[in-house]
A and B are shown apart, each in its own frame.
Chain A
């Protein structure tokens, strides 16, 4: 399998020399093409910091991040922006849709900042809307949509550019359980049918159980790793719960 993302001895420190916080403490792992990886951890475990480093929103202290062989920790300025808009797709917990634009325009924006032609934009938005089942909300504004619809629109915006890697930060965090389930099924579809590579950060075992692999983080270090293999989703969920119990305290609360 081709490796899309390779994280090599990544470290991220906060604070000064006297009171140093190691948000990420020497983490290394790889994500292959077509994988759906969930990163789990309690709040404060460093999972969001990790995602921010991968998405180039935050700078690393040491170590390297390779996205298809390119070391993105070396990128600067407009190259960073170019990398972000061409190679990555983002899905955020609070959707991050522009409230002044309709769903269609929000999705189209990801393409128009790459200077894609309007006719091509229309074709691709139409296609992705069908896949994510949001065709009937395209003309609506974010305030007219439900949380689930908003998150699917945000997902459409994330994958319409055919990114190498889709990064999702607590995508179900602001959704009710029904919407969350629906969204995750769409993720599953994107992953299996469209071969999208997804890296998702969550503290919710149910959400994580949709992934093909789960990496557990505690105090900035990798604590455990689970592969779904041939398990059913229910079996995988039980396994995740076992690890969560093992992790103890914090994450239990999140259940």
Chain B
């Protein structure tokens, strides 16, 4: 009997709460898809270094999954609370008929069980289907060749999904039982009759609160953009975030009161068609939903930042590589290690010989396998620290960036060596007269710091020779091959200046003597194989190769993209679903109101327009503020991630906008259509 009642209840409400079921199914499917990536990557034909990153990615994805489970669990409990509220009267009737609270709890338990089972089964089926598409994306991201299409079903992911969602549904059951045992019959029966009280806030208070929160918001924006230089430690970012969250709440709080006032004073707009009705509908709701609006706004903000940053990191990493890794291999090692440095004698001895000789001893034939070889040394001395080279601008910069280490030794390179490198890299040659120097750097904030010193025409005295800057700006160039812009500055000076400077490290850059990718890979493998040579113990030589940099960069980019997509989509769905459910759960009230409007002769078209606007404003309001937040948030992210490069931000923003329009807009449309269906007169 109870089971039958539960089934009937679900069948009856399935149309009204289609969006709830839809969200549950989507949640299950997404959870499955991202956890199933692991088993898809196992099938791929990729190199071992890519495997390491894939492994890292899978570990991170499962860590993120726990967080996602919390978000989804919160969403489900929150949504469930809504749906329960709408059914108060029904429970009241059950109670008056003499059903015990225990039995009502049992009905709810059965309902949750049925809904849970259906959503899990449908979600997993959908997830399995979509994850086949996902495997194409995975292969594409890791630039792996898909030999043939293979149907992948991840039982591990399936079991994980089942466990996580079962826990969520059990929590919902406990929550429901608790709720039912607490309620009073009289409240249940009168729940619908309670006419809501609309408090108009004091407009002056609203104006004041609005101005204060706008100022706080502006200050938070300033902190993360212009005042960004003060953000040297992670804990400092908490202040603008907290400020932003609090002022978001108060902006909504004050705007809800203010908007109405403003529109009411514009009599010609307010008393046109159903405008007064629409606006009141919106304001009556926002009064009670300021808090959830804030949460939704912040979640959207988070989504926008995560999605656009993740996409732009991947894009800039791939484009960085093409310019930043011009040669096949770069080997480097520390030179002239002092005898008391604690290294073994073998390594100390090795640090006295050039890299080419080390390679020889490792049994690698440089003449046969390398071409375009250039070998040079970098110099550094404790006599020339960063604080010295900044000259008179040091005090001001130290005040601005108190957390940087100014006691590091500067690095120098001979002009002739630099020009050899420039020739290989196809860069412009540098010609210095005897008393000039140039700084090459590609780390943006360091370029700015160094430019200050250069502008002050800071001179350097090395070995009795005084050098002055040739330009008042750094040359934006790298020396080490890496996948990101991390050259904080290297001094190019006339050769003879460095005659007495201690050597710091030796560098050998070369291309592989091969034409095809396969041959290059063979040479690469040979270099890796030198690790097993007996002499390998006696050297700390390190290699950065084009192939390994490329693989790790592609892997890292893919990892960030997947985690960004995962979090972004889940947050987007959660916020859109909360809005949609809120809107739909009020449809019963709306139904009454629209019926009244219809009775006094309002056109169907006018009613639909009013409904569209009402839902539209409700969806747009948090989104607009989130977009304003994001303008500054993305700038801040770009600053944090500037070592990855900052090209193609536009592209990632367009992608993000696309995803948001698709998911958020989709939820909006479904909500509108469902509401329209509910208010339709039958």
Contacts and interface: CB of A to CB of B under 8 A. Distances in A.
Nearest to A108: B271
Contact of A84 (B271, B277, B281, B601): B601
B604 A81 contact: yes
A90 B535 CA distance: 101
Interface string B596-615: 11111111111000000000
Nearest to A80: B601
B604 A78 contact: yes
B382 interface: no
A98 B596 contact: yes
A113 B602 contact: yes
Contacts of B599: 55, 57, 84, 90, 92, 96
A230 interface: no
Contacts, number: 91
Contacts of B601: 81-86, 88, 113
A137 interface: no
Task: Give the 6 A-B CB pairs with smallest separation, nearest first.
Answer: A85-B601, A84-B601, A118-B267, A143-B195, A100-B280, A118-B271
A142 interface: yes
B144 to A, nearest CB: 58
Interface string A105-141: 1001111110101110110000000000000000001
A2 interface: no
Contacts of A57: 599
B273 interface: yes
The binding surface of chain B is classed by DSSP as helix
A6 interface: no
B273 A100 contact: no
Contacts of B606: 113
Nearest to A95: B596
Contacts of A92: 599
A113 B598 CA distance: 11
B276 interface: yes
Q: Interface residue tally of chain A, by bracket? A: 35 or more
A112 B273 contact: yes
A108 B274 CA distance: 10
A90 B605 CA distance: 21
25 contacts: A55-B599, A78-B603, A81-B603, A82-B601, A84-B599, A85-B602, A98-B277, A98-B593, A100-B198, A100-B277, A100-B281, A100-B283, A100-B284, A101-B280, A109-B277, A112-B273, A113-B600, A113-B601, A115-B273, A117-B268, A119-B267, A121-B271, A141-B197, A142-B195, A143-B196
A121 B270 CA distance: 11
A96 B603 contact: no
A99 interface: yes
Given A78-B605, A96-B596, A98-B277, 16 more contacts: A78-B603, A81-B604, A83-B601, A92-B599, A97-B596, A98-B280, A99-B196, A101-B276, A108-B271, A109-B600, A110-B600, A112-B275, A113-B597, A118-B271, A121-B271, A141-B197
A81 B270 CA distance: 22
Interface in B462-485: none
B15 to A, nearest CB: 24
A157 B277 CA distance: 15
A118 B277 CA distance: 15
A181 B400 CA distance: 81
A113 B197 CA distance: 25
B265 to A, nearest CB: 11
A92 B600 CA distance: 11
Interface string B243-273: 0000000000000000000000001101111
A39 to B, nearest CB: 19
A214 B459 CA distance: 110
A113 B277 CA distance: 11
A118 B275 CA distance: 12
Given A100-B281, A101-B277, A101-B280, A118 B270 contact: yes
Contacts of B196: 99-100, 143
Contacts of A143: 195-197
Nearest to A77: B604
A81 B602 contact: yes
Contacts of A85: 600-602
B275 to A, nearest CB: 7
Contacts of B273: 112-113, 115
A108 B602 contact: no
Interface string B577-606: 000000000000000010011111111111
Which one of A82, A97, A112 has the greatest number of beta carbons of chain B within 10 Å? A112
Interface in A156-206: 157
B271 A157 contact: no
Contacts of B600: 84-85, 90, 109-110, 113, 157
Which one of B196, B273, B276, B600 has the greatest number of beta carbons of chain A within 10 Å? B600
A171 to B, nearest CB: 14
Interface string A198-224: 000000000000000000000000000
A83 to B, nearest CB: 7
B608 to A, nearest CB: 12
A73 B267 CA distance: 37
Nearest to A86: B601
A115 B606 CA distance: 12
Given A99-B196, A100-B281, A117-B268, A109 B276 contact: yes
Interface in B559-592: none
B280 A105 contact: yes
Contacts of A97: 596
Nearest to B681: A57
Which one of B283, B603, B604, B605 has the greatest number of beta carbons of chain A within 10 Å? B603
Contacts of A100: 196, 198, 277, 280-281, 283-284, 593
Contacts of B272: 112, 115, 118
A96 B268 CA distance: 25
B436 to A, nearest CB: 76
Contacts of A141: 197-198
Interface string A39-77: 000000000000000010100000000000000000001
A112 B596 CA distance: 15
Contacts of A142: 195
A200 to B, nearest CB: 17
Nearest to B589: A99
A166 B275 CA distance: 26
B120 to A, nearest CB: 40
Given A78-B604, A96-B599, A113 B274 contact: yes
Contacts of B596: 96-98
A83 B599 CA distance: 11
Nearest to B199: A141
Contacts of A84: 599-601
Nearest to B272: A112
Which one of A82, A85, A98, A142 has the greatest number of beta carbons of chain B within 10 Å? A98
A108 B275 CA distance: 11
B276 A108 contact: yes
Contacts of B277: 98, 100-101, 105, 109
A106 to B, nearest CB: 9
A108 B277 CA distance: 11
Nearest to B603: A81
Nearest to A112: B271
A82 B277 CA distance: 19
A142 B540 CA distance: 84
Contacts of B604: 77-78, 81
